[in-house]
Structure 1
Amino acid sequence: MTETLDSGSPSALDGIPLEREHRLNPPAVLGELRTTEPVARLRFPDGHLGWLITSHELARAVLADRRFSSRSELRHSPVRVGGQVSPRPQPAKPGMFIGMDGEDHARYRKLLTGQFTVRRMNKLKPRIEQIVADHLAALRAAGPGADLVREFALPVPSMVICELLGVPYEDRDEFQRETRTTFNLDNDFEVIMAAFQRIEAFVADLVRRKHDEPGDDMLTGLIETGELTDEEVANMGLLLLVAGHETTANMIGIGTLALLEHPEQLQALREDPTLIDNAVEELMRYLTIIQLGPSRVALEDVEVGGVVIAAGDNVLISAPAVNRDPKRFERPDELDFRRSATGHLGFGHGVHQCLGQQLARIEMRVAYHALIREFPDLRLAVPAAEVPMRSDMAIYGVHSLPVAF
């Protein structure tokens, strides 16, 4: 796992560990590092020598420190894609605010925050409940052995984000297919970029149509601010479209697997539905599906945990390791819906914290609550060891989840 670098250099991890000994636990080496070397040297695929952070306290400190940048053009990829070293990213395109700092990031984020209003979220909740009910009916109609991912976990957040953004739901298969391509680490870089460009073109065309056919949706709202070009609106919409269904869908899928593998927690939730808020936060903490980050780049020399991180060094935070830190969470390797898991970094931290986290929470609360209510005898239709895990993807989860009831 480690190797010696140049004379006088410390040993370093040769790439971020992704191989898991148990499907629901982070790689064991991450826990070992958290104990012995919470700020560890990490060699990136292109040879860049950066850092890996596995401590919850230090991760929060880095994410809150403006001396660390999110600018795309400063980053090195922490993994090979399709066995290849990825080219260095270019500066973020207009509207791609997750790859920006300072005033540029703040301007876009403020405009988008104005679209995630309490009114819009409250208006969406009954619709989410109806979407969940419809897809639970489809799951039941599919019968025992049905794939919960295909029938429920994937279509629910896909339909929600389509309605929020004003994307025609009949187009969902296209962007779902392209999104899966972009997140698959086994694909060649050129294949990933081609899929991403097709999603870009799809959203750009949708924005053009919104000028003639405006609606009560987020893309129309961004256009009507009068402060954004079509390119900016399209790129902001693209970020929301990709992130808004891929992450939540995987949490619903792997979260259901975790419930079925922890029957005592499932029973506790059935007996006390008021635990649902705790359950969602604890599943976010325990499962932590973001495998590759968040990441930052030091803009100047910064001391973190007694280690000096030099200007230009890339810092990768292992969210799965951070959320299992025993210094922050008692008995971190246990799933416990009665604990308070607030403070987990499943949605990030600092100025780049996930904008759609409240929507994601609503979706998961409604989905889990309805699923366990409507299917009291839900169980796996295959041995747990045969459930195909998304080990090949940037976002962890299950490829499919055959269930019986």
Structure 2
Amino acid sequence: MTQIATARTDEHSPQDFPMPRDGRCPFDPPPTGRALQEEGPLTRVRLADGSTPWFVTRYAEGRKLLLDPRLSSNAARPGYPHPSASAARAVAADAEAEEDGSTQNAGIGFILMDDPEHARLRRMVTAPFAVKRMQAMRPTVQQIADDLLDKMLAKEGPVDLVEEFALPLPSLVICLLLGVPYTKHDFFQMNSKLIVHRDSTPEQRHAAMTALGQYMGELLAEKMQHPEEDIFSDLGRRVHEGEIGIPDAVQMGILLLVAGHETTANMIALGITALLENPEEVDRLREEPDPALVASAVEELMRYLTITHDGRKRVATEDIEIAGVTIRAGEGVIVATDLGNRDAEVFEDPDTLDLGRNPRNHVGFGFGIHQCLGQNLARMELQVVYPTVLARVPTLRLAADVADLPFKHDATIYGLHRLPVTW
């Protein structure tokens, strides 16, 4: 299907954003978004605060803009397209915390910064997520997966796969990497959910960030006194040596903790659901469990599902000419990566799950300087999880109709609140 490469410039009736999905097609982007994609690569959408940022629906324009240094990730800039009132208030609280040096309200830091400060802080935590280090952790992740499945299979179905497997696995792994006691998992999982929930009130989100900031500040102080071999101890060393301030170290800890378990947990549950709804692809993965196909399957599931379904948000610092329109300085931009990953100009038959496709050029991890820091960890975990679950539980099946599953339409990270399965 050939798409018309013109921009939709009608600003009189922009669609509300975020857009609802079709409950009959829970793996697909919202139909309204697909219709806008057909009309052109850029249009306007309306947020809850009445602002109308640009909405980028196609792959080529999205990647180009995510590389453009004239787009800022700084959520404190006027015009930034905040997804909710609570998110906007959290940014204001972060600014206040930075001014008074407090760690109590520390937010999710460098992903909402621009270079050079973004690059400086990011480099401090890049090495622990390098490919070789992640591959060295594979046996540990495999053991965690097997142990969790042993416990799950000792029970009588149906069980909630989110609670029994999808959530604890990445939580255990990120706790090991960071040096966070797993005994605190209920605390950080509860607060993480409030942070990513679309309907959290400003007060709830602020309280969650405050609680996490206080805990991570206390843990940082402990690591500075008694360092171990983990990421947070290294950040403590950097604080001691004057490379970084305590608020930034705390922000990094929160970012890695929340993103390190929330995204992968949702990807595990949603990916398994999508596989069970495509039995021919499950058979294919079981019959050809070679590393190349497993790696391809993970990339395809990332493309097909795109759990960061609220897009990548930016604000223009200068005028930008693209696709026949001018994005003015101070205007917000939302790059719809879920739509980009379903762009028929780039991915043949994009609405079909094809595990042999190997779409390494997908934008499920974002693109450009803010591309997901933990993508090597996520890839490794998913490459362990999917074939392990299919091999260990060959009769695994949903214990409810897919249309009745509690999908996370109410969260900024798409997934499932619960996944009832049996075998």
On the 8 A contact 1:77/1:86 being kept in 2, the answer is no
Of the candidates 302, 309, 318, which is equivalent to residue 336 of structure 2?
318
2:230 counterpart of 1:217: yes
* Coordinate RMSD, CA, aligned: 1.8
Using the alignment, how far apart are the partners of 1:168 and 1:271 within structure 2?
A: 39
Tell me what 1:279 maps to: 297
Shift, 1:118, TM fit? 4.5
Deviations 1:100-150 (A, max 9, x none): 112111101111113324553233221111111111111112221011000
Asked whether the 8 Å contact 2:300–2:353 carries over to 1, the reply is yes
- Out of 108, 111, 132, which is 2:145 matched to? 132
- Which whole-Å deviations, capped at 9, do the CAs of 1:42-85 have from their partners, x for residues lacking one? 2222222211011000000000010111111125445445xx89
Match of 1:68 among 54, 68, 71: 71
The code of the aligned residue for 2:246 comes to D
Task: Return the alpha-carbon distance in structure 1 between the equivalents of residues 416 and 90 of structure 2.
Answer: 30
1:333 aligns with 2:336: no
Looking at structure 1, the residues matched to 121 and 20 of structure 2 have their Cα atoms a distance apart, in angstroms, of 33
- 1:161-203 deviation digits (Å, cap 9, x = unpaired): 0000000010111000111111111221111111111111111
Q: Give the match for residue 388 of structure 1.
A: 406
Aligned to 1:110: 123
Matched residue of 2:411: which SS? coil
Shift of 1:317: 1.3
- 1: CA distance, partners of 2:145 / 2:134: 16
Do 1:96 and 1:235's aligned partners in 2 also have CA atoms closer than 8 Å? Answer: yes
What is the aligned length? 396
3-state secondary structure, aligned to 1:30? helix
**Which gives a bigger RCO, structure 1 or 2 (Cα 8 Å, sep 6+)?**
2
Tell me the residue number matched to 1:39. 42
Distance 1:88 1:261 in 2: 38
C-alpha distance 119-361 of structure 1, shift in aligned 2 (>3 A): closer
Is 1:262 the equivalent of 2:278? yes
Alignment partner of 1:101 out of 114, 118, 122: 114
Q: Percent identity?
A: 41
Which of 164, 179, 184 is equivalent to 1:151?
164
Match of 2:349, SS state, is coil
Q: Structure 1 residues 117, 79: CA separation in 2 closer, same or farther (over 3 Å shift)?
A: closer
CA contact (8 A) 1:50 1:313 kept: yes
SS at match of 1:273: coil
The Cα of 1:393 is off from its aligned counterpart by 0.9
Distance in 2 of aligned mates of 1:167 and 1:221 = 13
Shift of 1:88: 8.1
Q: Does 1:237 align with 2:258?
A: no
Moved more, 393-402 or 149-158: 393-402
Match 2:307 to one of 289, 302, 308: 289
Residue matched to 2:419 = 401
Distance of 2:38 and 2:198 partners within structure 1: 29
CA distance in 1, matches of 2:155, 2:219: 33
Report whether the alignment pairs 1:356 with 2:374.
yes
Q: Please tell me whether the aligned partners of residues 389 and 398 of structure 1 are also in contact (alpha carbons under 8 angstroms).
A: yes
State the match for 2:102 in structure 1.
none
AA at the equivalent of 2:366 = G
Aligned runs of 1:7-86 on 2, under 5 Å? Answer: 9-21=11-23, 22-74=25-77, 75-80=79-84, 86=88
On the 8 A contact 1:10/1:41 being kept in 2, the answer is no
8 Å CA contact 2:311, 2:338 repeated in 1: no
User: Which deviates more, 101-110 or 325-334?
Assistant: 101-110
Corresponding position: 1:228 with 2:244: yes
For residues 350-391 of structure 1, the C-alpha deviation after alignment (integer angstroms, 9 at most, x for no partner) is: 011111100000011101111011011110112222211111
- Residue of 364, 367, 385 corresponding to 1:346: 364
The answer for unaligned runs of 5 or more in structure 2 is 1-9, 99-105
Amino acid across the alignment from 1:231: P
Q: Which residue number in structure 2 is paired with residue 253 of structure 1?
A: 269
**Secondary structure of the corresponding residue to residue 187 of structure 1:** coil
Q: Matches of 2:133 and 2:358 in 1, distance apart?
A: 28
Distance 1:9 1:380 in 2: 44
Deviates more, 1:316-325 or 1:245-254: 316-325
* Alpha-carbon shift at residue 96 of structure 1 (Å): 1.2
